[in-house]
Copies of this chain bind each other. A is one copy, B any other.
């Protein structure tokens, strides 16, 4: 019913330029309500006794932050009763009820989070996520034709992948699953073949040095140049951005030269103008010399739990890019991830090259 959500938003546009978030949530939850009632009818038509539950009925208690509520507590009494009665419960994703008893939506990734939270609360063995691909791949198969489906990925790897452009699962649901120890099984809605298991890393797991290469061209880069390298300067800048509700992703500050430094960060492309204005607003106060914005960047990332104990990984990544004349503009790392910002139009080439360099290409049959 994805189309239905757009239709509902169009209806809202027709009636008013003002959309109180509480009413937006009331409106948008109608789509899932329709879907789940239809799913239950389809199941009934096949002789399966099913019962639909709204987020509220399923006991999904959230905060009152409309359109992007967070789950505070799960009280799935009715779901347990339905299971005990032999029914197949069908629960509306993406919605809950706030502590002030208003209907909320969980924002981006909210449907998967609903599933994971229910699995956790019910003590399920596994949370199966059915999607339009057969699992999590070593790279986006649309970019890398030799990408392989991964049988098993650790939560940490999956989180890094989700955070850096992996499109199968949202970071939020993986985080939730990790915190509650819920194994995830990502698989296809259209076939019965096993997909990818996302599980707690354990000692017996054979860590791949690099499991996957991800890419992301949805961000832009902002650079504030000639910033005096004093304590508190960066804090002032990022406070300004936070107050304007702008989410930052990568942040890189170069080593100071002559007491001046550059601070670069990436933001969603949709926030580029807001971020630019925010930096300009504090530029003089910071004593910075200039602010520049660049929408032509992309990011390529390698993720692997085995990277920790393999010192050569960084070198191989940089060599691979350098051999192709791909310039690295920003670098950011964690213990199991290395991300490089490069020109957006070189991202695909970089992903394909890294996928081959780290031995991820599927053996052609």
Docked CA distance A23–B18 (Å) = 32
Stretch at the interface among A38-46, A218-226, A335-343: A38-46
Residues of B within 8 A of A38 (CB): 11-12, 15-16, 27
Residue interface mask A45-57, B partner, CB < 8 A = 1: 1100011101011
B residues less than 8 Å from A19 (CB atoms): 41, 44
Residues of B within 8 A of A43 (CB): 16
* Contact for A41 among B12, B31, B51, B52, CB less than 8 A: B12
A150 in the interface, Cβ–Cβ < 8 Å?
Answer: no
CA distance A57 to B34 in the complex (A): 19
With an 8 A cutoff between CB atoms, is A72 at the interface? no
Q: B16 near A34 (CB under 8 angstroms)?
A: no
Q: Mark A62-89, 1 if CB is under 8 A from B, else 0.
A: 0000000000000000100000000000
A43 and B19 alpha carbons, distance in the complex (Å): 10
| A30 in complex: contacting residue of B11, B17, B18, B30, CB < 8 Å | B30
Q: Is A29 an interface residue (CB 8 A)?
A: yes
Contact between B54 and A34, CB atoms less than 8 A apart: no
Q: B27 contacts A33, CB within 8 Å?
A: yes
For the complex, is A213 an interface residue (Cβ under 8 Å from B)?
Answer: no
Binding site for B on A (CB under 8 A): 8, 11-12, 15-20, 22-24, 26-27, 29-31, 33-34, 36-46, 50-52, 54, 56-57, 78, 101-103
With A18-B45, A33-B29, A57-B101 already in contact, the answer to whether A23 and B11 are too (CB < 8 A) is: no
So how many copies of this chain end up in the complex?
Answer: 2
Q: Are B37 and A16 in contact (CB under 8 A)?
A: no
Tell me, in angstroms, the Cα distance from A57 to B31 when the chains sit together: 19
**A17 to B, closest residue via Cβ:** B45
The 5 A-B pairs of least Cβ separation, nearest first, read A16-B45, A27-B37, A26-B37, A18-B44, A16-B41
**A18-B41, A41-B18, A42-B16 are contacts. A52–B36 as well, Cβ < 8 Å?**
no
Asked if A78 meets B101 with Cβ closer than 8 Å, knowing A23-B44, A30-B30, A33-B29, the reply is: yes
Min Cβ gap A96→B in Å is: 14
The residue among A8, A44, A54, A78 with the most chain B CB atoms within 10 A of its own CB is A44
Contacts A29-B33, A33-B27, A54-B103 known; A20 to B41 CB distance under 8 Å?
A: yes
Contact yes or no, B40 A36, CB < 8 A: no
Give the residues in chain B near A24, CB-CB below 8 Å.
Answer: 37, 41
CA distance A33 to B26 in the complex (A): 7
CA distance A240 to B16 in the complex (A): 54
Q: Across the interface, do A42 and B15 meet the contact criterion of CB distance under 8 Å?
A: yes
A12, B36: Cα distance in complex, Å: 11
Residue from A22, A27, A46, A51 having most chain B Cβ neighbours under 10 A: A27
For residue A103, give the distance in angstroms from its CB to the closest CB of chain B: 7
CB of A334, distance to nearest CB on chain B (Å): 42
Query: With A33-B33, A78-B101, A101-B57 known to touch, is A52 a contact of B23 (CB < 8 Å)?
Result: yes
CA distance A11 to B30 in the complex (A): 14
> Given the complex of chains A and B, what is the CA–CA distance between A207 and B198 in angstroms?
79
Give bound CA distance, A26 to B89, whole Å: 14
* A-B contact list, 13 entries, CB within 8 Å: A15-B38, A15-B39, A16-B38, A16-B44, A18-B44, A22-B51, A23-B40, A26-B37, A26-B52, A30-B31, A30-B37, A57-B102, A78-B101
